Amino acid sequence: MQTPWEYRYAHRIGKMGSSVIRELLKYAEQPEIISFAGGMPAPEVFPVKEFHEACNVVLAEHAAQALQYGPTEGHRPLREMIARHASRYMVEVAPDNILITSGSQQALDFIGRLFINRGDYIVVESPTYLGALQAWNAYGAQYIPVPMDEDGMLVDQLEEALRKGPKFIYVLPNFQNPSGGTLSLARRQQVIELADKYGVPIIEDDPYGKLRYEGEHLPSLVMLDSQYRNDNHGTYSGNVIYLSTFSKLLAPGLRLAWVIAPPEVIRRLIMTKQAADLHTSSFNQYVAYEVAKGGFLDEHVKVIRSTYKERRDVMLEMMEEVFPSEMRWTHPQGGMFLWGMMPEGVDATEVLKTALERKVAFVPGASFHPNGGGENTMRLNFSYCAPDTIREGISRLGLTLKEVLRKNGHKVT
């Protein structure tokens, strides 16, 4: 039915419609459903005691500033701490390279506002992070998907994509959401070189880089870019905009993240942020700084790693045990997600309908493909549910898959 509002919405709202998948996933929020659909951290790892103490300190010692309006670029000590950390582990940066945002999701939106004209092409991994597509659809972006495997984007296909003149390349190098894949070192180097050759900037989105459960840490694209340009002079001015967040290291409810970029990009992002929300919550920035300042994060991340590693292993072991042999899946070295692949022709949205009857949920993979495809794939989150719940959920999903595959004419063993 038409409402009086119908013809008042801006044109850009056109691409924000509801989808079958989104409607189905509403059921996944019901308490009796075991959901591998969300992308949530385990509440058990939230450092509640440390937050409690930090709130007391902030209110006792900094109430006048922490409850007041603050600078758009963010709380200076927090930016300095991030700069020190980045300079030690990643790339030499100054506080002028850093902007605090209300979650990385806000940074993605601002990047859209700053760079995307209607009809611009963005190179994305296929599949890619749904939240980025949602942010950029509003600005009329079009996508050039580059397929990936467990070692990330297939760079031999990147060059062809770059010849089409995209605005930027969007890469999730570590334990990608949704596939769990990690861009190999050799491919990282190639991405940097190709981006430079074609003069196309890179957006590096890295919420999960610290959540590695096996294998060696790989250098970030921003660091490789700075080495490539011999740009180690204390202020980064290269070709990469790097995003990371406290959502997975402390708590997503803080809505606290940061951008590392050349100072001229940061200045324009600051203007964009001023118009959007003036600044990120002063109180949350003070509290996060208080929690993180004494090296707490280095210790805390160990707890997160061991909790999620166990959950990943339980999920993988169960899948091995109960999934039909026609299924394939990734073995992520970190992060929060893995990716399941059914035989071609089996539709994950149909599987989800049957799965919901058995009270288990996941996200069908088609949503992560901006230009279609991936109908036979699914994303499973392993960070949120406790190990026993994962066992029960995966055994329900195994039964569901066997049932649907049989219906589709597969001889399931």
**For binding to ligand PLP (CB under 6 A), which residues are involved?**
39, 103-105, 129, 131, 172, 177, 205, 207, 245, 247, 252, 257
First-to-last C-alpha distance (Å) of the chain? 48
> From CA 317, how far away is CA 321, in angstroms rounded?
6
φ/ψ (deg, to 5) at 401: -60, -40
CB atoms within 10 A of CB 229: 14
Q: Closest CB to ligand PLP among 104 and 400? A: 104
Q: Closest CB to ligand PLP among 172 and 191? A: 172
What's the DSSP call for residue 3? -
What's the DSSP call for residue 103? S
Find the shortest distance in angstroms from Cβ 172 to ligand PLP. Answer: 5
Contacts of 49 (CB under 8 A, 6+ apart): none
Find the shortest distance in angstroms from Cβ 300 to ligand PLP. Answer: 17
Residue closest to ligand PLP (Cβ): 103
* Cα–Cα separations (whole angstroms), residue 93 to 31, 45, 157, 290, 324: 45, 30, 32, 22, 49
φ/ψ (deg, to 5) at 383: -85, -25
Q: Closest CB to ligand PLP among 101 and 226? A: 101
DSSP string, 264-326: HHHHHHHHHHHHHHSSS-HHHHHHHHHHHTTTHHHHHHHHHHHHHHHHHHHHHHHHHHHS-TT
Question: What is residue 168's three-state secondary structure?
Answer: strand
Q: Closest CB to ligand PLP among 183 and 346? A: 183
Q: Closest CB to ligand PLP among 73 and 205? A: 205
Find the shortest distance in angstroms from Cβ 248 to ligand PLP. Answer: 8
Find the shortest distance in angstroms from Cβ 284 to ligand PLP. Answer: 12
Q: Closest CB to ligand PLP among 166 and 252? A: 252
Find the shortest distance in angstroms from Cβ 330 to ligand PLP. Answer: 16
Pairing relationship of beta strands 240-245 and 168-171 according to DSSP bridges: unpaired
Find the shortest distance in angstroms from Cβ 246 to ligand PLP. Answer: 7
Q: Closest CB to ligand PLP among 179 and 247? A: 247
Structure tokens at 88: 């030690």
Q: Closest CB to ligand PLP among 312 and 396? A: 312
> From CA 177, how far away is CA 357, in angstroms rounded?
26
Find the shortest distance in angstroms from Cβ 229 to ligand PLP. Answer: 25
Q: Closest CB to ligand PLP among 243 and 341? A: 243
Find the shortest distance in angstroms from Cβ 177 to ligand PLP. Answer: 4
Burial class (CB in 10 A: 0-12, 13-18, 19+), 77: middle
Find the shortest distance in angstroms from Cβ 409 to ligand PLP. Answer: 36
Tokens 């992070």 found at: 129
